[in-house]
Amino acid sequence: MRHYSTIDRCIQSLDQAVRSLVPGATTAQRSNPAQGVESSLSIREARHVAGLMRVNHSGEVCAQALYHGQALTAKLPNVRREMEHAAIEEQDHLAWCEDRLKELDSLPSLLNPVWYGLSFAMGAIAGVAGDKYSLGFVAETERQVSLHLEDHIEQLPEQDERSRKILVQMNEDELKHRDTALDAGGVDLPKPVQITMNAISKLMTKTSYYI
């Protein structure tokens, strides 16, 4: 297995950032869960669903940045591999959300570069703090993402099975990532950190729905 230098990993991080932020640059490795499913929405319903999917797309941009930042600073090779593997699975989510936005004649959030930069910095800091905190950061992030997904699933129009299939699969993956992080030694984060993460998440949710 090739060992990458710090410069190599920085170049990889830049490439990953571009792939996460440029529409169409990321492709899914797994089939879209909504493949073969039909949904018919009114104009009003489609706008609301587009807003929800735009939020979820931004959430996946944040997840990519978090994992990339943590992988860059993680101390143990096995933890770095866990972060890189999770990021690959999150790429599927990114591509699926982008596909659904296209179907709804909508676009990703214009604020994604801001969310990526902020999330990358938070992930890198968590990695520097130590692998048990880095893994705990993953677990808390996935817990909060899962809560958002469950709320969005409830908000979907009853007939929108395409979006529902995507969000349900995403939620299953997020919960798996959370459990994997905890099993690998992740610890609960201090309450102030959890509160800060939740506040940032709410800000992203409210702005990305519209912008």
Residue 10 forms part of a structural domain: no
Residue 23 forms part of a structural domain: no
Structure confidence at residue 6 (pLDDT):
65
Report the domain count for the chain. 1
Residue 69 forms part of a structural domain: yes
Binding residues: 60, 90, 93, 142, 174, 177
- Range of the structural domain that residue 163 is part of: 41-208
Tell me which residue of 63, 76, 60 sits closest to 185, measured CA to CA: 76
pTM recorded for the entire structure: 0.82
Residue 129 forms part of a structural domain: yes
pLDDT digits (tens, 9 = 90+) for 63-108: 878 777 777 766 666 666 666 666 677 788 888 999 999 999 999 9
State phi, psi for 114 to the nearest 5 degrees. -65, -45
Instruction: Output the six-digit token pair for 7.
Output: 């410069």
Residue 5 forms part of a structural domain: no
Q: Residue 67 contacts by C-beta under 8 Å, 6 or more apart in sequence?
A: 83, 84, 86, 87, 90, 123, 138
Binding residues for Fe cation: 60, 90, 93, 142, 174, 177
pLDDT band, very low/low/confident/very high, at 123 (cuts 50, 70, 90): confident
Residue 33 forms part of a structural domain: no
Distance CA 162, CA 41 (A): 11
Residue 35 forms part of a structural domain: no
Could you tell me the CATH number of the domain that includes residue 50?
A: 1.20.1260.10
